[in-house]
Amino acid sequence: MSRIGTTFARLQAEGQKAFVAYIMAGDPDMETSLAVMRGLPGAGVDVIELGMPFTDPMADGPTIQYAGQRALAGGQTLERTLEMVRRFREGDTDTPIVLMGYYNPIYSRGVDRFLADAGAAGIDGLIVVDLPPEEDVELCLPARAVGIDFIRLATPTTDDRRLPAVVRNTSGFVYYVSITGITGAAAASAADVAPDVARIKAASGLPVVVGFGISTPQGATEIASVADGCVVGSAIVKLIAEGRPVPQVLEAVAALADGVHAAGARAPAG
């Protein structure tokens, strides 16, 4: 079982929900983002989602777009992102790491080389938002063949006809995008999310983690109470953009983690 599978199995056995925290690799510089990354598990983060900076991030709102621009301006590359992961793994061999981004940098590096390097660095999963299920042969299937989970996004517009294709080759967990639009654009509603989470769990047999539109501990508790966990990204990236010291960023992350884990006392998802 992968680190992702092991983590979700443990949380389920403990009656807990997963907190997935997103940061952009290299924002505002590699050393600062690595310091934040190293502190995330101690702040209660169960899975780290590490953004790969890209020049045209179509799914991201301004907060994460600017984070990518800052990282690229500071010289962050895919190789330096993998180097961050290698350095993180020197002190943490347990916390799952999911790379999130777009296909172009991976394609430019070469899929076989990328997967070999990612696996060696300690990457556990991939979220590549611009590769639909019809392109699974490009990256999804090769990734799964070498033991790297390929995590697919489902959205409010993923209807029952489309859902089987979306979840067919997905592994690790399904990332449910709670709102129609870009990251950081609106607040998610537990009442709106719950029916789709149940529908996706039934179709996939996988944990369903909800992202987009979650920015407060209270919101994290509400969403995690109807899912297997939640993702917070823009709210954390904003703190980094404001130049907050790393301990302040991690303090805010810990409050969000407490919100997610508080949902474990509520009825389990599905």
Q: Identify the active-site residue in 14, 31, 46, 49.
A: 49
- How confident is the model at residue 266, as a pLDDT? 55
Alpha-carbon span 27 to 54, nearest angstrom: 12
Per-residue b or e along 3-27, where b marks 16 or more CB atoms closer than 10 Å to that residue's CB:
bbbebbeebbeeebbbbbbbbbbbb
Kind and range of the H or E run holding 142: helix 140-145
Q: How far is CA 70 from CA 55, 119, 164, 172, in A?
A: 11, 27, 38, 30
- What top-level class would CATH report for the domain 3-265? alpha beta
- How confident is the model at residue 56, as a pLDDT? 86
Cβ atoms of 262 and 229 closer than 8 Å: no
Query: pLDDT for 35-47, tens place per residue?
Result: 999 999 999 999 9
Which 8-state DSSP code applies to residue 175? E
**For tokens 């621009």, what's the residue?**
69
- How confident is the model at residue 184, as a pLDDT? 47
Sheet holding 18-24, edge to edge: 149-150, 125-128, 97-101, 47-51, 18-24, 229-232, 208-211, 174-177, 153-154
- How confident is the model at residue 186, as a pLDDT? 54
Residue by residue, DSSP assigns 218-244 as HHHHHHHTTSSEEEE-HHHHHHHHTT-
- How confident is the model at residue 181, as a pLDDT? 52
Kind and range of the H or E run holding 141: helix 140-145
Name the pTM for this structure. 0.94
Cβ atoms of 108 and 77 closer than 8 Å: no
- Active-site residue 14, yes or no? no
For the chain, percent helix, then strand, then coil, each to nearest 5?
A: 50, 15, 35
DSSP lists the bridge partners of residue 128 as 101
- Active-site residue 49, yes or no? yes
The parts of the chain modelled with pLDDT lower than 50 are 182, 184-185, 267-270
Alpha-carbon span 211 to 189, nearest angstrom: 11
Alpha-carbon span 106 to 202, nearest angstrom: 32
Q: Identify the active-site residue in 60, 124, 149, 222.
A: 60
Q: Helix (H, G, I), strand (E, B), or coil: what is residue 100? A: strand
Q: Copy the structure tokens of residue 258.
A: 């407490």
- How confident is the model at residue 267, as a pLDDT? 47
- How confident is the model at residue 59, as a pLDDT? 77
Query: pLDDT for 94-104, tens place per residue?
Result: 999 999 999 99
Alpha-carbon span 237 to 135, nearest angstrom: 30
- How confident is the model at residue 213, as a pLDDT? 84
Residue spans per domain, the chain: 3-265
Alpha-carbon span 200 to 82, nearest angstrom: 31
